[in-house]
Structure 1
Amino acid sequence: MDEAKLTAYLEQYIDGFHGPLTLKKFPGGQSNPTYLITAASGKYVLRSKPPGKLLKSAHAVDREYQVTKALGGTDVPVATPLHLCQDEDVIGNWFYVMKYMDGRIFWDPALPDFTPAERGALYLEMNRVLAAIHSVDLKSHGLQDYGKPGNYFARQIGRWTSQYKASETETIDEMEQLMAWVADHIPPDDGQVSLIHGDYRIDNLIFHPTRPEIIAVVDWELSTLGHPLADLAYQCMQWRMPSASLMRGLDGIDRAALGIPTEEEYVRAYAERRGLTGITHWPFYLAFSFFRLAAIVQGVMKRSLDGNASNARAQEVGRLARPLAVKALAILKEYNVL
């Protein structure tokens, strides 16, 4: 990026911004490149679309800007968005700038540096904020048109099947079987519609420097209006991922000794927060989440092969499509629905 050109632009459009600035790319992240801006006026975060040819509707930084702006003043903590730039002449692609949040990001859901009591408190906070996202009054915050009404799972399955096929680099028989199963087993519409984050996991949360308190939920690229249990099941995938893997799961560790709730306890706590009497079709929600993640990582693989991936480990991530589909089929067999 041309730092001088970016400095002049931000000085024009962000109140109080003063250069010079330096940029440093954050580690991690497989989709939208994210940078720390250190300027004379303070620290900021810039998030942009990746370079190269992109899949339709992917990398929508404009939607991220829209939703985080709408969530200001709600019970959902976000990093305050400051400016959206849709002029590709500035850095070569669309981007937005938000306030820098000085806090902690945890990459390992096992939270190895904490006591059992501290881990339990952090998981309770994750549960609270997820329920808060799903409790946002859509109309009063201008989000009633943020997604299409009805048929959420049918639309999502169609979208991610299409995205997967557009990114396909080999035939994965297990993925073909999983795509067919989720398409044929969509539960009856129960009327639940909420804002959903779409990628709610521990490393997309910024915690207070010392307290078990989330100060910002980040990476809203996949957010939309949809079924809240899709978000819950997506996070609960981590209970079923192996701990010694790139996906950093909780399977194979002594969660009780660590003070981490079981999947059943976490789901029950969420249901109580939202006043739900029970959750049916849980195997479907889990299988759908694995299917969707497999389609996402296949997209990462395709971007890597095309030379425009955001992360150096993109091909390693992309190879997870097959094991994710295998795991989903194993879960369906566990519940005797396959």
Structure 2
Amino acid sequence: MDRSAQNSGTTEVRNGQGFDVTALEKWLEREVQGFDGPLQVEQFRGGQSNPTYKLITPRRSYVLRRKPPGKLLPGAHAVDREYRVISALQSQDFPVAHAHALCTDETVIGTAFYVMDMVEGRIFWDADLPQVPDAERPLYFDAMNATIAQLHRIDPAAAGLADYGKSGNYFERQIRRWSTQYLEDVEAGRVAAMDRLVEWLPSNIPPGEDEARVIHGDFRCDNMIFHPEAPRVLAVLDWELSTLGHPLADFSYHLMMYRMPAGVTTGLAGLDLAARNIPSEADYVAAYCRRTGRDSIPDLDFYIAFNMFRLAAIVHGIKGRIARGTAASAHADKMAASLEGLADLAWAQAVKAGA
């Protein structure tokens, strides 16, 4: 089964992920303007971290994102931050789903959650966009490029997000955060390449000014809803990892698709890009630089190594949640199985950067 089939659509609420639908319906009647039941709940197949549900009523549908039940690592699954950033970016005409209400009262469904609009459109789970005609594929890549550039041009203060994260030393802080999370998640075990990266990365951060912009943290084609028929991004999803940070960290994470093997998350490596009419990595970087006023991106290999390490740390966390019985996706086992290969690939980027 391909990633699209694995992750698209909804299913019955999975065992251990259910809640009191009647209690939720009463809360929605109080907090969401225009809500009118009866309510039916289904769970989206996709999503590794925060369980996500489709709320269906006779007139319209909504989406609910919640913290997973069970033991959680400190600071993880911050749905309140997701709600805040979506609400703020909406005021800046950035494509996000309209957020209706946040609930931090865990007595309602057992964990904190928020509710937003259900945006109808297409999600592409594979970075080569196999559902798109060859002639149109560059337009979809350009839409992704334009969207992340638009995000990085937003002034955090103008969006009311000046305090959304710390300013300065972004890479140092992120490397320390993910290294600590990796080392403390003892149930997930240790990985040799990750141990090498934990040692190498903090000593090799590129010098220079540390910019601070709103960054998504997981900007990929499968975290975007496209217009049903046009190369236009209607909504960017999954803001759990968003913060203030260096925009090149965010863009290079998105750019990883060019260096990840096809079939692994959203990878393009190994594919004939020209035959698929997909822009080259160099052309994609040049388009982003043009939109954001940059001449180039020095130290790109370091940024890629950092992001692959960060992604491997996230996958390591998924492996830990499997061990603790709190994994949110039915396909978490497959994701966790990719950990060592991903860590090795991250180290290979570090070698390219001079390790």
Which of the numbers 99, 110, 113 marks the counterpart of 1:95?
113
Which of the numbers 152, 158, 174 marks the counterpart of 1:140?
158
Structure 2 CA distance, aligned partners of 1:94 and 1:189?
Answer: 39
Structure 2 CA distance, aligned partners of 1:189 and 1:8?
Answer: 52
| Native 8 Å contact 1:198 1:220 kept in 2 | yes
Which of the numbers 313, 321, 328 marks the counterpart of 2:339?
321
Gap regions ≥5 residues in structure 2 = 1-18
Residue number in structure 2 paired with 1:212: 231
How far residue 141 of structure 1 moved from its aligned partner, in angstroms, is 1.3
| Native 8 Å contact 1:31 1:309 kept in 2 | yes
Q: Provide Cα deviations, 1:20-51, integer angstroms capped at 9, x if missing partner.
A: 10111101110000011001341000000001
Residue number in structure 2 paired with 1:183: 202
Structure 2 CA distance, aligned partners of 1:24 and 1:189?
Answer: 48
Which of the numbers 260, 269, 277 marks the counterpart of 2:287?
269
SS at match of 1:253: coil
Residue identity matched to 1:60: A
Equivalence map 1:290-309=2 (5 Å): 290-309=308-327
Structure 2 CA distance, aligned partners of 1:17 and 1:276?
Answer: 46
Query: How high is the TM-score relative to the length of structure 1?
Result: 0.97
How far residue 328 of structure 1 moved from its aligned partner, in angstroms, is 1.7
How far residue 84 of structure 1 moved from its aligned partner, in angstroms, is 0.0
Structure 2 CA distance, aligned partners of 1:216 and 1:303?
Answer: 28
Residue identity matched to 2:113: F
| Native 8 Å contact 2:126 2:265 kept in 1 | no
SS at match of 1:279: coil
How far residue 110 of structure 1 moved from its aligned partner, in angstroms, is 1.0
SS at match of 1:195: strand
Structure 2 CA distance, aligned partners of 1:25 and 1:74?
Answer: 30
SS at match of 2:330: coil
Residue identity matched to 1:61: V
Structure 1 CA distance, aligned partners of 2:261 and 2:45?
Answer: 22
How far residue 334 of structure 1 moved from its aligned partner, in angstroms, is 3.4
Structure 1 CA distance, aligned partners of 2:64 and 2:78?
Answer: 14
SS at match of 1:255: coil
Equivalence map 1:39-118=2 (5 Å): 39-118=57-136
How far residue 112 of structure 1 moved from its aligned partner, in angstroms, is 1.2
Residue number in structure 2 paired with 1:241: 260
Residue number in structure 1 paired with 2:148: 130
How far residue 313 of structure 1 moved from its aligned partner, in angstroms, is 1.7
Structure 2 CA distance, aligned partners of 1:248 and 1:198?
Answer: 15
How far residue 250 of structure 1 moved from its aligned partner, in angstroms, is 0.5
Structure 2 CA distance, aligned partners of 1:41 and 1:113?
Answer: 30
Which of the numbers 178, 181, 189 marks the counterpart of 1:170?
189
Which is further off, 207-216 or 256-265?
A: 256-265
Structure 2 CA distance, aligned partners of 1:259 and 1:212?
Answer: 15
Gap regions ≥5 residues in structure 1 = none
RMSD, aligned CA: 1.2
Structure 1 CA distance, aligned partners of 2:204 and 2:43?
Answer: 41
Structure 2 CA distance, aligned partners of 1:167 and 1:146?
Answer: 26
Residue identity matched to 1:264: A
| Native 8 Å contact 1:50 1:308 kept in 2 | yes
Residue identity matched to 2:213: S
* Residues 1:330 and 2:320 are matched in the alignment: no
Structure 1 CA distance, aligned partners of 2:352 and 2:242?
Answer: 30
Which of the numbers 218, 228, 253 marks the counterpart of 1:199?
218
Structure 1 CA distance, aligned partners of 2:274 and 2:55?
Answer: 41
Identity level (%): 49
Structure 1 CA distance, aligned partners of 2:34 and 2:53?
Answer: 19
Structure 2 CA distance, aligned partners of 1:332 and 1:14?
Answer: 48
Q: Provide Cα deviations, 1:182-237, integer angstroms capped at 9, x if missing partner.
A: 11101124232110000000000000111100000010000000000111111111
Give the count of matched residue pairs.
Answer: 336
* Residues 1:232 and 2:246 are matched in the alignment: no
Residue number in structure 2 paired with 1:283: 301
SS at match of 2:90: coil
Structure 1 CA distance, aligned partners of 2:71 and 2:90?
Answer: 33
| Native 8 Å contact 1:298 1:319 kept in 2 | no
